[in-house]
Amino acid sequence: MHRTASGDRRQARMRDALELARDARALQKVAAYLLAASQEAQRLQGEADAGQIRVMPLLAYQKEIATYQEHHRPETNRHQ
């Protein structure tokens, strides 16, 4: 079979649509992570404003942050 201009345009549109869908999925994952980070920042700000922030050593803080990130990662990232 021979190639046609309309067929080439259709394939180009399909490639563009697939790329946009892939980008949209990636942005949804980032948005979910940013939402969780924003909520945690608001919680910490509330604790700071209320004088409830506890002082902890740097290593304990880093461990707590790593645990938080592991539990608040979007579901789609956990099995990659």
pTM of the model: 0.47
14-18, 56-60, 62-66 — which one is most confidently predicted on average? 14-18
Q: Could you give the CA distance from residue 74 to residue 58 in angstroms, rounded to a whole number? A: 26
**Are 29 and 57 spatial neighbours (Cβ–Cβ below 8 Å)?**
no
**Are 47 and 53 spatial neighbours (Cβ–Cβ below 8 Å)?**
yes
Mean pLDDT of 44-49: 82
**Are 76 and 29 spatial neighbours (Cβ–Cβ below 8 Å)?**
yes
Q: Over the stretch 15-24, which tens digit does the pLDDT of each residue have? A: 999 999 999 9
